[in-house]
């Protein structure tokens, strides 16, 4: 089965400083249509997850531009340019090609 590996699993961030999360897939996420289906979600404490980034680098509506995604094939990165208090939570990457598979999550604390 395909797997998504996130690192680190836990991150202590400093407000105003950058933070980076890595996500590696055991299979290429490049689809035959030319798009790469890798999504990032944030689950704040006590809330449902929310979409941050889709197709590697496209920010979802309303997502601050301090969030950015990059990568290709099997290796991807989510970067927060300047961490804010509201960024605390668990970040998940997910392959959008079936079987849709989430990473284990990265817990970000201040």
Shortest Å distance, C-beta 48 to another protein: 4
Measured CA angle at 99 (ends 97, 104), to 5 deg: 100
**Closest listed residue to residue 80, CA positions, set 91, 95, 94:** 91
End-to-end Cα separation, the chain, in angstroms: 34
The site for another protein (CB under 8 A) is made up of 1, 31, 35, 37, 39, 41, 43, 48-51, 54-55, 60, 90, 92, 94-105
Shortest Å distance, C-beta 76 to another protein: 14
Residue 31 or 79 with smaller CB distance to another protein: 31
Q: What number of CA atoms fall less than 13 Å from residue 56's CA on the CB side? A: 17
Shortest Å distance, C-beta 52 to another protein: 11
Shortest Å distance, C-beta 11 to another protein: 16
Residue 82 or 107 with smaller CB distance to another protein: 107
Residue 2 or 82 with smaller CB distance to another protein: 2
Q: How far apart are CA 90 and CA 9, in angstroms?
A: 9
**Closest listed residue to residue 100, CA positions, set 49, 14, 25:** 25
């Amino acid at each position: 089965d395909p797997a998504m590996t996130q690192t680190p699993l836990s991150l202590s961030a400093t407000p105003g400083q950058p933070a980076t999360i890595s996500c590696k897939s055991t299979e290429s996420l490049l689809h035959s249509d030319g798009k790469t289906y890798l999504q990032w979600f944030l689950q704040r404490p006590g809330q449902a997850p929310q979409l941050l980034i889709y197709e590697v680098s496209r920010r979802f509506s309303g997502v601050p531009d301090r969030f950015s995604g990059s990568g290709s094939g099997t290796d991807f990165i989510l970067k927060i340019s300047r961490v804010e208090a509201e960024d605390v939570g668990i970040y998940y990457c997910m392959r959008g090609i079936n079987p849709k598979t989430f990473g284990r999550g990265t817990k970000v604390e201040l």
